[in-house]
Every structure is written in C-alpha cells, then in structure tokens.
Amino acid sequence: MAGISTQHQSSNAATLIFGLIHGTGLATKILEYQISEDGLLPNLLAFNVGVEIGQILALCVILIVMGYLRRSDNFPRYAIGANVLMVFLGLALIAQHIFGYLHSHTH
C-alpha cells in the first residue's frame, strides 16, 4: 500500500486478525442462545448493538484510565504489564472457548 508505513500496515493487519477472532467468538457464543427463526434478524441486530455499546463503554473507561496513567513516569512499565495481561487473558479465553466447544461436541 503506497503511502502507508510498514508499522501502520502491521497495526492494520493485527487489528483485522483480532477482529476476525473476536467476531468468530461472538458468533459461536450467540449460537448458544438458540434464537428462533421467527425474529432472528431483530435479535441478531439487538445482540450486535449491545456488543458495540459495551465495547464503546469499555473503551471510554480505558481511555480515562490511560489518560491518568500517561502522566506517570512509570507509564511504559504499566503499558507493558497491561499488554502482557491482555494477551494472557485473551489466550485463556480462546482456550476456554476451544475446550468448551470440543467438550460440548464430544458428548
């Protein structure tokens, strides 16, 4: 892509991959609700709107906290710790979903 730095391209790719994994997780979660065919579209829309509102609220909280932490001289250490924690929690959640899926389909 002309005019886009390599770092920006890597960030875009990481965001795309994360979005695909995240969307797949949500799609498998909604299957558990066993939504009837009658009213499927309104229920799917309501689910997605709810997810988006939750993400916006979480982002607001994160931005407020990050604004305060950026003022600290220890911000780089906090940022690294937060990133390591997020990766660990993400991997744990992926493992939980995979094992839950495999367990529910073997019995």
98 and 85, same domain (yes or no)? yes
Q: Is residue 69 within 8 Å of residue 78, measured between CB atoms?
A: yes
pTM comes to 0.57
65 and 93, same domain (yes or no)? no
Any domain includes 100: yes
Domain around 55? 37-71
| Separation CA 18–CA 82 (nearest Å) | 17
Q: How many domains does the chain have?
A: 2
C-alpha distance from residue 77 to each of 22, 66, 90 (Å): 27, 13, 20
**Which amino acid appears at position 58 of this protein?**
A
- Give per-residue pLDDT as tens, 84-107: 998 999 889 888 878 887 887 765
Any domain includes 58: yes
What is the percentage of the chain residues whose pLDDT exceeds 70? 88
| Separation CA 11–CA 95 (nearest Å) | 24
Any domain includes 41: yes
84 and 100, same domain (yes or no)? yes
55 and 78, same domain (yes or no)? no
User: Which tokens hold the place of 81?
Assistant: 């710790």
